[in-house]
Amino acid sequence: MDYTQQTATHVGGSDYFGLGLVNFEIHENNISHETQGLSGNHLVVRRGKPFKVTLLFKGRSWNPNNERLVLEVCLEGSSQKIPVLFEEQSAPQGWSATVPAGKISRQSVIIHVCSPVLSPVALYQLLVHIETIDHRMTYMVGTFVLLCNPWLKDDPVYMQQDAHIKEYIKNDYGLIFTGTPSNVQERPWSFGQYEPGVLDACLKLLQLSNEHLHNSSRDYALRADPVYISRVICAMVNSNDDLGVLLGRWKDNYTDGVKPTDWSGSADILHQWLSSNGKPVRYGQCWVFASVLCTVMRVLGIPSRVVTVFTAAHDADGNTTIEEFYTTSGEKLSLSDDSIWNFHVWVECWMRRLDLGAEFDGWQVVDPTPQEKSGGMFRCGPCPVAAIKHCINVPFDTRFLYAAVDGDVHRLIIHNGSVVGRTVDTECVGELIYTKSIGSDTPQNLTNTYKGIKRPQDASTHQCELLSYNSRAARSGTLSYSCMSSHTGSSLFASPQMYSASITPADDAVGETSCGLQVSITIPGSPLLGANIDVCVKVTNHSSRPRDLMEHVNAQQKEYNRDPQQSFWRAQREVHIQTHQALTLRHTIPYSEYESTLKPDSVVNVAVVMQDLMTRERVLGAHEFSVSTAQITIQIEGGDRIQMKKEKSARVTFTNPFERALSEAVLSVEGSGLIKGKQEAKLLLLKPGENIKKTVSIMATSPGTKVLKATLSHSSSSIMVSRSFHKVSVSSA
């Protein structure tokens, strides 16, 4: 049994009576409240649902006629006293404590304690008072944690289907989708909400927030609202303007911390932050920020999932139009504060929006990656997905998020400071939006939940103010603004005005100008790091005359969220094309041209500028793709489901798929919660077709989902050739 020992404060001869032991019935309450495994230190329960506490008396038996029991729940300076009533008595509004029929004996009493459904999420202290006409005995009996309750219909985070709650609250494992729409890659992530200390870290996040440090009473009062909780935690996951968890870095030097791509779970990050007393963990990028946020939200009882937006726009100036600049040879320039991220990862949290109305209930975007400030802090959301889809201006940050999934991209060719060509792409932003499916590792396509009619015409509904591009003004380099109808309804909608962008020149289309040329780029297959890369350029002549063209093709390495770096490969040739002809021009980027540049997770921006040699007109085509790594196989003895504290072996194998040997190959294996440290196998020369193997012993000390990570590096390159992740499910028995 789970007891908290108490010392009586009153002594009185043979008539002595006092509180001896308190049983928090942790095992039974955990099962009833779906909180198994969240804590070994605290009773963890969900709001709006009764939990059981048993009081055991010492000395003589309790006399309920003369000795009244009163419970008291405390949050720092505030408290709430709760008279203990018998079941037939009417319970008061708010907190209640009742004794069910037949649950009282000479030496003990069972009490069912229930909080209001909109109670603050927090760590509470529980006191017991035994009161008579003459005196009172008070006992501090322990603490309990109160969480949101997605099983309870009246809770704003309620989810109707058990399969959804299992996936978005209880599941401690997820998939992060990265790469590009044409080469989607996935990596497992251990959310780790059942790891020891994770709940403590989540509660500490609330206590160290700017809101709590500034005004703890107000903070506690507002913690009943999941909108408020998600906004506070969103700011606390990054450390830009508070004592938050993660410090972001998007450059190559990570020697004073952990490279973002090396993380595979949230628990290690939260443990490190908690043990350092609020010192930020180095380093995070978008999927790390989002995954940690998802962990904290699930622990606190708010259903959450990690979502990847491919070709996500970062609209720095707020006009929902993204401008990109290229040279006449196809090299992309860093001339705009706007950018396109090949992928961006954020979180959706499920809740009713009591502040907005039922049409905005459901999934809300919450983005902890520090990009722009919202309400004076680096955070974003929660914003209803429904508002993003229909371009409705509601709190919070709708304009920024709308641009991220549905902005227009204007690509301009620059020569001697002048625009000599332009294309407009209205489709590529938010091209694909994925999350993990319920109960499986397949992706669920959310694109249609975000992208609807870009420019609503019904003036009777809440609408954004729309920014229209005048085609003639755009050609002359000036913009004109026209405002469509906007209706804000009430003060709840009084957030900054929101704009979307459109361009309406009749002769502009993606990769085509009035000269009648159209050009596009494709990359056959899935390019493999270490192998040659094929590039196909398709050019179509829609005009009524043949053309002599000069083709310029350019490739640049880029981080997934930044503008490209210096070009690493170029090609050009003259091309003759007949009237109404379509040609496919093939190129090869040799490995030797990029071996010192590209690395795992690299993205390549490849662009082509096709110039008519007679008219000097130019047309641009651009494409970005990610580079995959060679496969490392990981096999677990007896399968991927293991029992806690039982040793198993894992066999890790890499086979050289390349046409060249790899010298001084090193195969490394590590996994938090499975292996202590890193284990390696080395081979002086790994010939084509040969393999390198490493067998390691694994043993889990806690249940849940763990991740093994294997990497292969060699001396011929400063970067690893391959990295693979493998999911291991651990059961307690």
Structural domain includes residue 508: no
d(CA 357, CA 496): 19
Q: How confident is the model at residue 514 (pLDDT cuts 50, 70, 90)?
A: low
The pLDDT score that the predictor gives to residue 501 is 26
Strands ordered across the beta sheet of 662-670: 641-643, 720-731, 704-713, 662-670, 678-686
Tokens of 194: 């059942």
**At residue 579, does pLDDT exceed 70?**
yes
Q: CA Rg, the chain, in Å?
A: 30
Question: Quick one: average pLDDT of 681-705?
Answer: 92
Cα–Cα–Cα angle for 653, 603, 619, nearest 5°?
Answer: 145
Residue 6's pLDDT is 37
Give the model's confidence band at 504: pLDDT under 50 very low, under 70 low, under 90 confident, else very high: very low
Tens of pLDDT, residue by residue over 22-53, are 999 999 999 999 999 999 888 999 999 999 99
CA distance 324 to 720: 32
Closest CA to 377 of 157, 259, 214: 214
Q: What percent of the chain has pLDDT over 90?
A: 68
| Distance (Å, whole) CA 287 – CA 293 | 10
- What pLDDT band is residue 493 in, cutting at 50, 70 and 90? very low
Which burial class, exposed, middle or buried, applies to 631 when counting CB atoms under 10 A from its CB (0-12, 13-18, 19+)?
middle
In a domain, 588, yes or no: yes
Residue whose C-alpha is closest to residue 108's, from 59, 66, 71: 59
Query: Is residue 463 scored above 60 in pLDDT?
Result: no
**Quick check: is 286 catalytic?**
yes
pLDDT per residue as tens digits for the range 432-450: 999 999 999 999 999 999 9
- pLDDT band of 660, cuts 50, 70, 90: confident
Residue with tokens 């972001």: 248
pLDDT at site 454: 57
Residue 512 lies in a domain: no
CA distance 333 to 562: 11
- Out of 36-40, 333-337, 535-539, give the one with best mean pLDDT: 535-539
- For 215-263, how does the pLDDT look when each residue is reduced to its tens digit (9 = 90+)? 999 999 999 999 999 999 999 999 999 999 999 998 878 999 999 988 9
Q: Is 200 a catalytic residue?
A: no
Q: Which of 147, 174, 193 is the last residue of a domain?
A: 147
pLDDT of residue 492: 22
Number of structural domains found in the chain: 4
Instruction: Note whether 366 and 453 are same-domain residues.
Output: yes
Which residue, 511, 482, 486, is CA-closest to 498? Answer: 486
In terms of domains, do 141 and 168 share one?
no
Instruction: Calculate the average pLDDT of the chain.
Output: 86
> For 543-560, what is each residue's pLDDT tens digit?
999 999 999 999 999 888
3: pLDDT strictly greater than 70: no
> Can you give the pLDDT at residue 336?
86
Query: Where among 124, 147, 170 does a domain terminate?
Result: 147
As a whole number of angstroms, the distance between CA 177 and CA 185 comes to: 6
Q: What is the reported pLDDT for 473? A: 27
96 domain residue, yes or no: yes
pLDDT band at 126 (very low <50, low <70, confident <90, very high): very high
Domain carrying residue 46:
3-147
Q: Is residue 343 part of a domain?
A: yes
Q: Which of 314, 344, 462, 714 is catalytic?
A: 344
* In the block, residue with structure tokens 């908690």: 274
Q: Which of 93, 123, 147 is the last residue of a domain?
A: 147
E strand or H helix at 341: strand 339-351
Judge contact between 332 and 326, C-beta under 8 A.
yes
329 and 200 inside one domain: yes
Same domain membership, residue 372 and residue 325: yes
**Which amino acid appears at position 445 of this protein?**
N
Using pLDDT thresholds of 50, 70 and 90, give the confidence band for residue 465: very low
DSSP 167: I
Residue 509 domain flag: no
Judge if 232 and 132 occupy the same domain. no
Q: Are residues 468 and 590 in the same domain?
A: no
Q: Which residue has the higher pLDDT, 718 or 447?
A: 447
Q: 10 Å Cβ neighbour count for 490?
A: 8
Active site residue 155: no
Which of 172, 219, 338, 367 does the annotation list as catalytic? 367
Paired tokens of 13: 């001869």
The CA distances from residue 585 to 326, 520, 526, 537, 621, in Å, are: 21, 10, 19, 5, 13
Q: Are residues 270 and 413 in the same domain?
A: yes
Instruction: Give the pLDDT of residue 231.
Output: 98
CATH number of the domain enclosing 37: 2.60.40.10
Q: Domain check: are 421 and 464 in the same one?
A: yes
In angstroms, the CA 525 to CA 628 distance is 11
Considering 419-428, 531-540, 624-633, the range whose residues carry the highest mean pLDDT is: 531-540
Per the domain annotation, does 156 fall within a domain? no
- Same domain for 643 and 608: no
Catalytic residue (choose from 234, 286, 294, 515) = 286
Express each pLDDT in 581-604 by its tens digit: 999 999 999 989 998 888 877 899
Q: Is the pLDDT of residue 348 over 50?
A: yes
**Residues 210 and 133 reside in one and the same domain:** no
| pLDDT band, very low/low/confident/very high, at 337 (cuts 50, 70, 90) | confident
**642 and 711 housed in the same domain:** yes
Mean pLDDT check: name the lowest of 166-170, 252-256, 267-271: 252-256
What is the pLDDT averaged over residues 479-500? 26
When pLDDT is cut at 50, 70 and 90, the band that residue 691 belongs to is very high
Terminus-to-terminus CA distance in the chain, angstroms? 20
Residues 606 and 640 in one domain: no
